[in-house]
Amino acid sequence: MVASLRLPSLTSLLFPATTRYPAALRRTVCLRNRPASGFASGTAASTDAHRLRSKQAVTPRSQDFNAWYLDVIASAELADHGPVRGTMVIRPYGYAIWEAIQEYLNVKFKETGHSNMYFPQFIPYSFIEKEASHVEGFSPELALVTVGGGNELEEKLVVRPTSETIVNHMFSQWIHSYRDLPLMINQWANVTRWEMRTKPFIRTLEFLWQEGHTAHATPEEAEKEAKQMIEIYTRFAFEQTAIPVIGGRKSKLETFAGADKTYTIEAMMGDRKALQAGTSHNLGQNFSRAFGTETSWAVSTRFVGGIIMTHGDDTGLMLPPKIAPIQVVIVPIWKKETEKTGVLSAASSVKEVLQAAGVRAKLDDTSERTAGWKFNFWEMKGVPIRIEIGPRDVSSNCVVVSRRDIPGKAGKVFGISMEPSTLVAYVKEKLDEIQSSLLEKAVSFRDSNIVDVNSYEELKVAISSGKWARGPWSASDSDEQRVKEETGATIRCFPFEQTQGIKTCLMTGNRAEEVAIFAKSY
Q: Please indicate, yes or no, whether residues 171 and 301 belong to a single structural domain of this protein.
A: yes
Q: Are residues 168 and 285 in the same domain?
A: yes
| HEC assignment per residue over 42-109 | CCCHHHHHHHHCCCCCCCCCCCCHHHHHHHHHHHCCCEEECCCCCCEEECHHHHHHHHHHHHHHHHHH
User: What is the model's pLDDT at position 132?
Assistant: 60
pLDDT in tens for each of the 522 residues of the chain?
Answer: 444 443 333 233 233 333 333 333 333 333 434 433 345 444 433 343 233 223 457 999 999 999 999 999 999 999 999 999 999 999 999 999 999 999 999 999 999 999 999 999 999 999 988 866 655 666 778 999 999 999 999 999 999 999 999 999 999 999 999 899 999 999 999 999 998 889 999 999 999 999 999 999 999 999 999 999 999 999 999 999 999 999 999 999 999 988 999 999 999 999 999 999 999 999 998 776 657 899 999 999 999 999 999 999 999 999 999 999 999 999 999 999 999 999 999 999 999 999 999 999 999 999 999 999 999 999 999 999 999 999 999 999 999 999 999 999 999 999 999 999 999 999 999 999 999 999 999 999 999 999 999 999 999 999 999 999 999 999 999 999 999 999 999 999 999 999 888 899 999 999 999 999 999 999
H or E element at residue 230: helix 219-239
In this structure, the answer to whether residues 403 and 482 fall within a common structural domain is: no
Residue 397: Cβ-neighbour burial (10 angstroms; 0-12, 13-18, 19+): exposed
Can the peptide bond before residue 182 be classed as cis, meaning omega within 30 degrees of 0? yes
d(CA 330, CA 128): 53
Specify whether 394 is located in the same domain as 432. yes
Picking from 436, 470, 488, the residue at the C-terminal end of a domain is 436
**For residue 425, what pLDDT is reported?**
98
Domain range enclosing 498: 451-519
Q: How far apart are CA 42 and CA 263, in angstroms?
A: 30
Supply the pLDDT for residue 51. 35
Of 507, 466, 290, 315, nearest to 405 by C-alpha is 315
Nearest-CA neighbor of 490 among 302, 280, 197, 275? 275
Examine the domain organization and report whether 116 and 182 are in the same domain: yes
Asked which of 386, 405, 436 is the last residue of a domain, the reply is 436
Q: Model's pTM, two decimal places?
A: 0.88
* CATH number for the domain that contains residue 216: 3.30.930.10
Residue 19 lies in a domain: no
56, 24 Cβ separation under 8 angstroms: yes
CA angle in degrees (0–180, nearest 5) for 227-254-110: 30
Annotate 310-340 with three-state secondary structure.
HHCECCECCCCHHHCCCCEEEEECCCCHHHH
Q: Partners of 330 in the beta sheet?
A: 363, 387
Residues 6+ apart with CB under 8 A from 448: none
